[in-house]
Amino acid sequence: MGERKVRLFKRRVTPKSAGLRLDTYIFVSGTGFSRTQIQRAIKEGKVLVNGRKVRASYKVKAGDYVEAEFEIMETPTEIVPQEGELEILYEDGDMVVINKPPGMVVHPAKGHFTGTVVNFLYHKLLNAPGAERRRPGIVHRLDKDTSGVMVIGKSELAVRELARQIAAKEAKRIYLTVVWGDVERSGTVEAPIGRHPIYRERMAITVINAKPSTTDYRPLKRFGFATLLEVSLRTGRTHQIRVHMEYLGHPVVGDPVYSGRDLGSITRVLKGKVAPVEKILSLIDRQALHAWKLKLRHPRSGKRFEFVAPLPDDFVYLLNFLEGFAV
């Protein structure tokens, strides 16, 4: 059985954090609570700013005093440290940057208690002399079948500052994706994303309990029936690129959830164009989506970094095959 405890949060807002939504500010301050838990506490009046109840959308100001009371049910949880290989792009005492392979889950969860990024990094930190944190600080995630660059905090300072940069959109994430159809021009998709009203494991364009979502894209290479796009996020919603590309009418190649493997949907997108659809789907058994670049400031020194994650083999095979159809 779990034990019910109360965790207190008290903090003075610094100028660097001014302008963030209250729920976002608490989230990036390293409480360990989800946005949903934080928003619930705010709604229940358990979060005060300068002694007053405010909304989750309140924009914090420098000097604001935020205090919160979170009631939690503590249950025994254990993350199993595992020795495993991860492609490390950069590492120092504050952070580690990896190139996550497709098929790897980021954090242990139901059905995936081992073999995750956290399992492997936990083993690494446990065996690192002088490490400030023993558990890796996950500040953003990638879907299981999305590959590419991720940054993980190793110090308390890094976890707070990296999470703040991600939430404030100061850190820039740029993706590569191959979508069905011919995308001729750059553009922007602005459409709210929320949980699908029927299929709860999916996200959807909806006005019900949705959040504003914006995605920028530009074509890098066109193949007539498919297009290689560079995509950047102005917001960070679950499955954002995959949902927005389907909404645009150009689902991500190979995406099993958002029309990227559905022959009927692909046929409608191609509008009569002949394409080696079955061959393409045999080359990549997941969504053709790769987190390519990550731009951020070092959490301690403030130095600007840009990390680039090499493409995984299946993505390379796909692009090599499509090269013969370039227009």
Active site residues: 143
Residue position matching structure tokens 């990094």? 121
Number of neighbouring beta carbons within 10 Å of residue 186:
11
Phi, psi dihedrals of residue 187, rounded to the nearest 5°: -170, -175
Burial class (CB within 10 angstroms; exposed 0-12, middle 13-18, buried 19+) of 152: buried
What is the pairing mode between strands 147-153 and 289-297? parallel
Structure-block tokens of residue 184: 């001729």
Q: What is the maximum span of the chain, computed from C-alpha positions, in angstroms?
A: 65
Q: Give Cα separations from 191 to 188, 209, 237, 240, 285 (angstroms).
A: 10, 13, 11, 10, 28
How many other C-beta atoms lie within 10 A of the C-beta of residue 221?
Answer: 15
Do residues 194 and 210 touch, judged by C-beta distance below 8 A? yes
- Tokens coding 133: 């944190």
Terminal CA-to-CA distance of the chain, rounded, Å?
Answer: 63
Token reading at 126: 């446990």
CB 22 within 8 A of CB 57: yes
Task: Provide the β-strand partners of residue 74.
Answer: 3
Q: Hey, which bits of the chain come out as E strands? A: 3-12, 47-49, 52-53, 65-74, 87-91, 95-100, 137-138, 147-153, 172-180, 187-190, 193-195, 203-205, 214-222, 226-233, 289-297, 304-308
